[in-house]
A and B are shown apart, each in its own frame.
Chain A
Amino acid sequence: MLKYIGRRILQMIPVFIGVTVLLFLMTAVVPGDPVKMITGEREISPAVYNQIRAEYGFDKPLIVQYGMYLNRLAHGDLGQSLMRGRPVKDMLLDKFPYTMQLALAAIIIEIIFGIGAGMISAVKRYSFADVLVTLSTSILVSLPVFWLGTLLQMFFGIYLKEWTNGAFYLPMSGAGGPGAPFPHWVYLILPAITLASVSTAYAARIMRSQLLEVMGQDYIRTATAKGLSASAVLWRHTVKNAMIPVITFIGIDFGAMMSGAILTETVFNWPGVGNEIYNAVVRRDWPVVMGGVVIIVVVVMIINLLVDISYAFFDPRIRYGGGEEA
């Protein structure tokens, strides 16, 4: 097991180097003066200009610049925000709790409805419920999340309020705070549903196909033949074995959600990492964009690593199978 973890961590190193090279090139190859990208539109004296140029090594060859970039990264220096003058790292750390709350809420929805719908549709295969689940998962994966978000805002925030004369409605944006008309968790409802929509559909599809595959296995026939009740076969043998890929998917998905759901957070003005990065893109605050992407990629890689490790822990075949994907 330790050997497996070690190998997975070693595999991460070239990927991380590749990520930094790619990000570095993205900033270096952009047309325009790199010093301007750091100073923005402000007027600066030639002395300051040259100082920045030397500090970031723009007068040196690319490979040296890359080395300096890596060195700054290794010291946890992601640069400073052009607009706010704050370290990018601190800015993003402030936003992470909100992103985490949203991701957790969405994952709970995904687990309950995704796995539930997948089970119903596999157990009652070809029934009306199955057709309904299959069709609605196709619709959900084709639905633009930002459109779903605005529709939910319109329905729960505006129409419901009109129909009930303001007695019942859900907040359309923000995260509440002191003096807000709702407790904090209410603000999570609509964004969480929006963020969970696509993944729930995928989770349901994976659950369904996994269950159907396991149901055709010999050991399920054996379990039925030895006289186990249908529910015992389902829960003890089928569901348990079908769950592994679903859990992996949900784990990786959690990593993706932690990276900040840019669209959902923007639509609902949720103060998370995704929203911060989007605002930085709009304001052309490059250090925040690039620093944010680095942090996010690292977080996603670590979560994926944890998912892989837990997967290997639950399913010994992974550990001993050589670990090389086909």
Chain B
Amino acid sequence: MKKDSPQMQQEQDRKTAEATAAADTAYDALSASPSRTLLGDAWHRLRKNRLAIVAIIWIIVMVIAAVTADLWVPQRFGDPITINTQTLTADRLLPPQLAHPFGTDDLGRDVFARVVYGARFSLAVGLIATAISIVIGLVLGALGGYYGGFTDTLIMRTADVFFAFPYTLFAIALVAVLGPGFINVFIAIGVLGWPSIARVFRSSIFSVKSQDYVQAARALGASDIRIMSRHIMPNSVAPIIVYGTMSIGGAILTEAALSFLGMGIQPPTPSWGYMINASTKFMTTAPWLMLWPGFAILTTVLSFVLLGDGLRDALDVKMKD
């Protein structure tokens, strides 16, 4: 066989290099991302989803407003909790105006200030209750999904028991027993949320568990904990991210419902749900009282729902709608 001349060899190399470059470009175009990490890839796709970006911005704005509220709200709009008896009659039920952009309530307090302070509790419940659900759900889902058998049956039957209760009713009964208040609302909503997380995580583990790389790790003598934390977790975490994001919205809605029924955080501390409850008395005379907290709940929950939708598409998670 005739040996290739140096020129031909160079020509060959150049062609190979070109082809490789072209393939790389095509690959980048197809995968739409030069990044290879799960989150980097997802972020790249998420950035193109305009609704999700608006949602993220809104959530950030809310969080900043809620966290920094002490620095600017009372100075500019007045105290959201204490009632000033001297100016009470003059400041009562004022319609929206420059000094009070959302108007004032029946006790002369600025509604904007109360909505901003209400965000603190709502966001805290959303995040903490969901965190509780995720921790319980991940542990139990992992145990069930990884070990199967009796452990799995026991955990999933317990989940069935929780599913047998209508959600709102269960939350109300639980808070009724525990007594209303800050911590109990966290606990009630957090404890009720774990079965869904456990189910999602368990089925996601099931699908990962039988993959070749997990078998390979096991064959190499990796311990259960190592297989779980290094091989299974990273590959089954995507549905949890999506589900968790949506659960935050759900937890905020449940908290608002509990507060509306007078079973959440107790007045005078502002909470959106209770503000709506208290304002129904002034439906005819001061309808704006009812609108603002409602919009606050709607936009916050909607942001988490849209972000969840966006993450689902970005992480390519298949979920039942």
Question: Is B273 on the interface with A (CB-CB < 8 A)?
Answer: yes
With A15-B160, A15-B164, A154-B290 already in contact, the answer to whether A147 and B297 are too (CB < 8 A) is yes
Task: Assess whether B95 is interfacial by the CB under 8 Å rule.
Answer: no
Partner of B164, one of A19, A206, A281: A19
Q: B201 to chain A: closest CB distance in Å?
A: 13
Inter-subunit contact A289/B283 (CB<8 Å):
no
Complex Cα distance, B170 from A256, in Å, reads 12
Q: Secondary structure at chain A's binding surface: helix, strand, loop or mixed? A: helix
CB-defined interface of A288-304 with B at 8 Å, one 1/0 digit per residue?
01100100110011000
Docked pose: A163 CA to B166 CA in angstroms? 40
Of the candidate stretches B23-31, B56-64, B110-118, B300-308, the one touching chain A is: B300-308
Which residues of the partner chain B approach A228 to less than 8 Å between Cβ atoms?
none
- The total of chain B residues at the interface (CB under 8 A) is 43
Is there contact, CB below 8 Å, between A297 and B165? yes
Residues of A within 8 A of B168 (CB): 262-263
CB < 8 Å: which of B165, B172, B283, B302 contacts A142? B302
B298 touches A293 (CB 8 A): no
The interface bits of chain B over 256-278 (1 if a CB of A lies within 8 angstroms of the residue's CB, else 0) are 11001111000000000100110
Flag if A289 contacts B164 (CB, 8 Å): no
Q: Point out the residue from B165, B176, B203, B257 that lies within 8 Å of A144, measured CB to CB.
A: B257
Q: How far, in whole Å, are A266 and B261 apart by their CA atoms in the complex?
A: 9
Distance in angstroms from B62 CB to nearest chain A CB is 14
B 240-267 to A, binary, CB cutoff 8 A, 1 in contact else 0: 0000000001000100110011110000
Q: Is the CB of A259 within 8 A of B166?
A: yes
Asked whether any CB of chain A lies closer than 8 Å to the CB of B280, the reply is yes
Say which residue of A146, A150, A209 sits within 8 Å of B257 (CB atoms). A146
Known: A30-B177, A262-B169. A150 touches B321 (CB 8 A): no
Contacts of A26 in B (CB 8 A): 173-174, 177
Chain A nearest CB, measured from B264 CB (Å): 12
B263 (CB) vs chain A CBs: closest residue: A281
DSSP class of B's interface residues: helix, strand, loop or mixed? helix
CB within 8 A of B166: which of A202, A300, A326?
Answer: A300
B283–A297 contact, CB under 8 A?
Answer: no
Q: Are B174 and A15 interface neighbours, CB within 8 A?
A: no
Query: Which residues in A have their C-beta under 8 angstroms from that of B263?
Result: 281
A179 interface contact, C-beta 8 A:
no
Cβ proximity bits A18-55 to B, threshold 8 Å, 1 near / 0 not: 11001000110010000000000000000000000000
Interface string of B277-316 (1 = CB under 8 A from A): 1001001100100100010011001100110010000000
Q: Does B90 contact A (CB under 8 A)?
A: no
Number of A-B contacts (CB under 8 A): 118
Asked if A232 is an interface residue, CB under 8 A from chain B, the answer is: no
Which chain A positions have C-beta within 8 A of B174? 26
Q: How far is the CA of A18 from the CA of B256 in the complex (A)?
A: 29
A142 touches B161 (CB 8 A): no
Min Cβ gap B240→A in Å is 17
The answer to whether A293 touches B169, judged by C-beta atoms less than 8 angstroms apart, is yes
Enumerate chain A residues within 8 angstroms of B287, measured Cβ to Cβ. 154
Q: Are B172 and A144 in contact (CB under 8 A)?
A: no
Closest Cβ–Cβ distance, residue B305 to chain A (whole Å): 5
- B166 x A296 contact (CB < 8 A): yes
Contact partner of A14 (CB less than 8 A), chosen from B157, B262, B273, is B157
- Residue A66 at the chain B interface, CB threshold 8 Å: no
Nearest CB in chain B to that of A273: its residue: B169
Tell me, yes or no, whether B43 is within 8 Å of chain A by CB: no
CB proximity to A under 8 Å, residues B163-214 = 164-166, 168-170, 172-174, 176-177, 203, 206
B20 at interface (Cβ–Cβ under 8 A)? no
Distance between B130 CB and nearest chain A CB, rounded to angstroms:
16
Contacting residues, chain A, for B257 (C-beta < 8 A): 144-146, 263
Expressed in whole angstroms, the Cα–Cα distance for A263 and B171 within the complex equals 12
**Partner of A209 from B164, B177, B301, B321 at Cβ < 8 Å:** B321
